Amino acid sequence: MPKRRLWADLRPLRESPDFRRLWAGNALSQVGSQMTTFAVALQVFTLTHSSLAVGAVGLCTGLSRVTFGLLAGSIVDAVDRRKLVLLTRFSLAGVSALLAAQAFAGFNQLWLLYCLVVLQSAISSISAPASQTFMPRLLRTELIPAGAALNMVIMHGSGFLGPALAGVITAAFGLKLCYLIDAISFVAALYGVFRLPSMPPEGGRSRPGVRAVVDGLRFIGGRKVLVGALLADMSATVFGV
| Local confidence pLDDT in tens for the 241 residues of the chain | 445 555 778 999 999 999 999 999 999 999 999 999 999 999 999 999 999 999 999 999 988 888 887 788 778 888 899 999 999 999 999 999 999 999 999 999 999 999 999 999 999 999 999 999 999 999 999 999 999 999 999 999 999 999 999 999 999 999 999 999 999 999 999 999 999 999 988 765 556 555 655 666 666 666 676 667 666 766 665 555 4
pLDDT digits (tens, 9 = 90+) for 95-136: 999 999 999 999 999 999 999 999 999 999 999 999 999 999
Superfamily assignment of 16-147+155-240 in CATH? MFS general substrate transporter like domains (1.20.1250.20)
Mean pLDDT of the chain: 88
What HEC string does the chain produce?
A: CCCCCCCCCCHHHHHCHHHHHHHHHHHHHHHHHHHHHHHHHHHHHHHHCCHHHHHHHHHHHHHHHHHHHHHHHHHHCCCCHHHHHHHHHHHHHHHHHHHHHHHHHCCCCHHHHHHHHHHHHHHHHHHHHHHCCCHHHHCCHHHHHHHHHHHHHHHHHHHHHHHHHHHHHHHHHCCHHHHHHHHHHHHHHHHHHHCCCCCCCCCCCCCCCHHHHHHHHHHHHCCHHHHHHHHHHHHHHHHHC
Say what the pTM is.
0.85
Domain boundaries, given as residue ranges, for the chain: 16-147+155-240
Distance CA 125, CA 233 (A): 13
The CB density around residue 141, as the number of other CB atoms within 10 Å, is 7
